[in-house]
Amino acid sequence: MRKKKPDIYEQQKRRRWEALSQAPLIKDSFPILASLSVHMTFEEPDWGGNLSPKHQTLGPESKAFFEIECPYYECVSGGYDLSSAVAKLVSTRDTESSGTIICQGWQDRERINKHRCLLKMEYKITATYLKEA
């Protein structure tokens, strides 16, 4: 009897969960950070139907995991990595950072190597820092 080939979406979900579970806590990676807030809006390049905005607030006990999943559930190997934006924000002790990232995943499993997702995410990261003693 042949083994069932693992579903690409199940593999993607498992890899993401493993990365999240291994990520350190914010208090360990960024001890000066009191909280981090990420506001995201999305713009669809093809048909103009934009998705609802997302908002995430993280505290010291949250995982220092800043890879945002592409909101399109059929997107393969996509998403947005805000790790370097967060690291730069905290290293300079700025309170806000914003930018745009375009998802480079594949639109769905049938279009792998044929058509990119290209969902645009605009983000604004707001940081608050612990008071120095």
Residues with Cβ within 8 Å of 68's Cβ and at least 6 positions away in sequence, in order, are 38, 40, 54, 79, 80, 81, 82, 121
Question: Could you give the percent of the chain with pLDDT greater than 90?
Answer: 66
DSSP 8-state secondary structure symbol assigned to residue 106: B
Q: Is the pLDDT of residue 83 over 90?
A: yes
pLDDT band, very low/low/confident/very high, at 133 (cuts 50, 70, 90): very low
State how far the Cα of 23 lies from the Cα of 30, in Å rounded to an integer.
12
pTM of the shown model: 0.85
Rounded to 5 degrees, φ, ψ at 105 are -70, 180
The per-residue pLDDT for 9 is: 81
Q: Are 43 and 17 in contact (CB under 8 A)?
A: no
